[in-house]
Amino acid sequence: MNSFLKKRKILIFTAIFLFALLLAALFLFFITYFKVDSVKVKGNTRYTNEQIEDLVMTGPLGDNSVWLYLKYHDRPVTDIPFIEKMDVNIVSPTAVEINVYEKAIAGYVKYLGGFMYFDRDGIIVESSAAPIDKVPCVTGLEFDECVKYEPLPVKDKSVFSDILSLAQLFEKYGIQADRIYFAPNRDITLYFGDARVMVGSMDNIDEKMMELKEIVPRLEGLKGVLHLEDYKGDETLITFEKE
């Protein structure tokens, strides 16, 4: 009887050992066969490719293609500023493609020493201690407070569609304004260093921005006011007043 029990114990221990060995072999295969050595990043403008890789490929299995796919598949990102979500697609066992979906930022306002960024609907989607490139600072909007993930409490909500249109035109024509100012009557002024551009209303805004693209380089170092309020394709209506 004792001999039988002894043999049974040996068989059980052997089975456990072999099972553990199999698991170890499978794990070793998993971490070596799916080890990532090629990464392609798409959709990122606010972070470099290297920064995205460092943010995504973290932890003990941060270089495993299967683990990265499972970790980021159809899951929102909550801990990386200005990014809505990221998807990781497996191109091959050793290659992945990271698709970055950034938050749609229309502009930012200064509030209590910080910078509050809002989307096309005026929702505060992010905050930071420093401004980021290629996002316009918007002034002239009247509000009492800013709360993250809530609408910026301005009276006329339609101003956000104007801000978004301007941001899209800035990107289209490669224009980088230092600041956008909205007057109480919604007339627009753009600031480029010491030069101000009186844009006026949103009428013919595409034509105005297309013309402004050619003028902006000549504004460098100048102090004064460029008038585009009445521009409708006639360059004689564009004037510059030096200060």
Instruction: Determine contact, residues 40/91, Cβ cutoff 8 Å.
Output: yes
List of residues 6+ apart from 128 with CB closer than 8 A: 81, 114, 115, 117
Burial of 188 per CB tally in 10 Å (0-12, 13-18, 19+): buried
Chain centroid to Cα 51, Å, comes to 13
Per-residue model confidence as pLDDT tens digits over 96-137: 999 999 887 888 999 988 999 988 788 898 888 888 877 888
Instruction: Taking residues 218-237, report their average pLDDT.
Output: 83
Model-level pTM greater than 0.75? no
Least confident of 133-142, 216-225, 234-243: 234-243
Per-residue model confidence as pLDDT tens digits over 176-209: 888 899 998 889 999 998 899 999 989 889 999 9
Tell the CATH topology of 107-242.
Rossmann fold (3.40.50)
Distance CA 163, CA 139 (A): 11
Distance CA 121, CA 98 (A): 28
Distance CA 225, CA 222 (A): 9
Least confident of 26-35, 36-45, 185-194: 26-35
For residue 187, CA distances in Å to 94, 162, 182, 198, 202 come to 54, 11, 6, 8, 8
Instruction: Taking residues 82-105, report their average pLDDT.
Output: 90
**Sequence ranges of the domains in the chain:** 1-33, 34-102, 107-242
